[in-house]
Chain A
Amino acid sequence: MSDRQLAVEFRGVSKLYGALAVLKELSLSVPQGEKIALIGPSGSGKTTVLRILMTLETIQAGTVWVKGEPLWHMPKGDGLAPATETHLHAMRRHIGMVFQHFNLFPHMTVQENVARPPQIVLGVTSGEAEQRAQDLLRLVGLAQKGASYPAQLSGGQKQRVAIARALAMQPAIMLFDEPTSALDPELVEEVLAVLRDIALEGKTTMLLVTHEMSFAREISDRILFLDGGAIVEEGPPDQIFSDPKEERTRLFLKKIIAAGHRID
């Protein structure tokens, strides 16, 4: 099996909210280092894919695999048993997430937001954590803001701190849930620039949920178009955007263009 090279795999995953199926037997696989963009109308289930991977949402059917290990299950005899919190804790080590609404810790400075988690969770020494935080804040262009509190930053700055915070945990897989959707238009580009750097660096597996079509086209290796809790179409960015095979993909892109967004 080539499982070992896969960073993420969904096998027939279903997610239900009561009677409402948010994901319907969804399957996907993401090789290590691949940059994937998930696009689709709201309610299509793309954010749910990320939230399941981050263990923020449970699944009702199927299996999720991260680096060849089951995420929501544990091997038991010949089969699988539901994961314990200990197992989830061990698995989360591989994954980091950047949220639409940043979710920075408001009672900590910018520097503390980035330095404390590796210290508390990974047991990194305080000296190393502070150094790592400074390096990452420089990477996202906020070296001067370490002593500020999140409330003193613009949305774009907050999101860049959130990216630095996620990177500080050095996850192999990074999830970005509409990272620019909550930003004023003039602040979008500064966040995309940081994401571009991370994508170009290459090693990290990226799953990006976005409405920034031209950015998705630019940085991703593959586009997944989701609708109604299933993958309707997937393929290389140029094919999806220039020559979509499915009617629903065409309709969606048409709406996006009509709303004034660029897809080239």
Chain B
Amino acid sequence: MIWDWDFALRIIPDILRGLGTTVIATFFGSLLALAVGLVIALANRSDVTAVRRSSRGFAEFIRRTPLLVQLYFIYFVLPQAGVVLPPLLCGVIALGLHTGAYLSEVYRAGIDGVPRGQWEAARALNYQQGQTWLKIILPQAIPPMIPAIGNYIILMFKDSALLSIIAVPELMSMSRNIGNDSYRYLEPLTIAAILYLLLSGIAVLLLRIIESRSGMARLTG
């Protein structure tokens, strides 16, 4: 098993195309997850018992079942119900729902982390509900959420390798296909691993910068 530089260089363009798809899946998956998490977090606080119960049940179900099962469900089962979606979209939905269920907990912790006295002060100053959320609660709740949200998105980036199973031409599946075609797995899989590592590393670095600028230092004095 000897590393073949010529081969490695030749497959890099294909692998990079795969990386592009991975980034796209992660990007849209993240947007979906941020929105899904918010909807679940708000529904969990609803005054209507039925809404609260079903959103909690849904989040619990998503968190307690493997992402792979959810992915298969969307890709193989939904078409039998007449809903046929392109593989990449299936992947984005699965990643978004799965990560969103976890993010709802991050939101909850962030919001619950704002002391009751802040709500009371806002009420005493006669802020309306929307003003209280926008001007008082969220500016305090969001900075502490950023590290956890970032970590879940990095996890999602790595989990997106599972999309190779439903034929999304992302980084993992491109690398595996090259291996299947050439019977050389060393180079494509090594390059894929390095790319995952590189991007995760950059993301962690970015996260640290955002964190230090997000005003946490001010809040804790």
B219 partner, pick from A55, A92, A99, A107, beta carbons under 8 A: A107
* Interface of chain B, main secondary structure: helix
Give the residue name and chain of the A residue nearest to B120 (CB). A56
B171-198 CB contact bits vs A (8 Å, 1 = yes)? Answer: 0000000000000000000000000000
Residues of A within 8 A of B220 (CB): 151
Give the residue name and chain of the A residue nearest to B221 (CB). A151
User: Given A54-B124, A121-B131, A103 and B218 touching (CB < 8 A)?
Assistant: no
A99 with B121: CB separation less than 8 A: yes
B123 with A105: CB separation less than 8 A: no
Residues of B within 8 A of A97 (CB): 124
A151 with B126: CB separation less than 8 A: no
Cβ of A149 within 8 Å of any chain B Cβ, yes or no, is: yes
With A and B bound together, what is the CA distance between A92 and B123 in angstroms? 9
With A and B bound together, what is the CA distance between A92 and B131 in angstroms? 15
Give residues 84-104 of A contacting B (CB, 8 Å): 85, 89, 92-93, 95-97, 99, 101, 103-104
Give the residue name and chain of the A residue nearest to B143 (CB). A107
With A and B bound together, what is the CA distance between A55 and B122 in angstroms? 12
B119-142 CB contact bits vs A (8 Å, 1 = yes)? Answer: 011011111110100011001100
With A and B bound together, what is the CA distance between A151 and B123 in angstroms? 22
B121 with A103: CB separation less than 8 A: yes
Residues of A within 8 A of B215 (CB): 107
Give the residue name and chain of the A residue nearest to B125 (CB). A117
Give the residue name and chain of the B residue nearest to A55 (CB). B123
With A and B bound together, what is the CA distance between A152 and B139 in angstroms? 19
Q: How many residues of B contact A (CB 8 A)?
A: 22
Give the residue name and chain of the B residue nearest to A100 (CB). B117
A103 with B127: CB separation less than 8 A: no
User: Given A120-B131, A152-B221, A106 and B140 touching (CB < 8 A)?
Assistant: yes
Min C-beta distance of A141 to chain B, whole Å:
21
Cβ of B118 within 8 Å of any chain A Cβ, yes or no, is: yes
Q: How many residues of A contact B (CB 8 A)?
A: 27
Min C-beta distance of A209 to chain B, whole Å:
14
With A and B bound together, what is the CA distance between A107 and B117 in angstroms? 14
With A and B bound together, what is the CA distance between A186 and B31 in angstroms? 52
User: Given A56-B120, A103-B118, A107-B140, A121 and B125 touching (CB < 8 A)?
Assistant: yes
Min C-beta distance of B27 to chain A, whole Å:
29
Give residues 199-219 of B contacting A (CB, 8 Å): 215, 218-219
User: Given A149-B218, A151-B221, A105 and B126 touching (CB < 8 A)?
Assistant: no
A64-84 CB contact bits vs B (8 Å, 1 = yes)? Answer: 000000000000000000000
Residues of B within 8 A of A217 (CB): none
Cβ of A165 within 8 Å of any chain B Cβ, yes or no, is: yes
Give the residue name and chain of the B residue nearest to A54 (CB). B124
Min C-beta distance of A221 to chain B, whole Å:
24
Min C-beta distance of A177 to chain B, whole Å:
10
Cβ of A169 within 8 Å of any chain B Cβ, yes or no, is: yes
With A and B bound together, what is the CA distance between A46 and B126 in angstroms? 22
A56 with B123: CB separation less than 8 A: yes
B residues touching A (Cβ–Cβ < 8 Å)?
A: 115, 117-118, 120-121, 123-129, 131, 135-136, 139-140, 215, 218-221
Enumerate 10 A-B pairs (CB-CB under 8 Å) in ascending A order: A89-B128, A99-B121, A99-B124, A103-B121, A106-B218, A116-B135, A120-B135, A121-B125, A149-B218, A152-B221
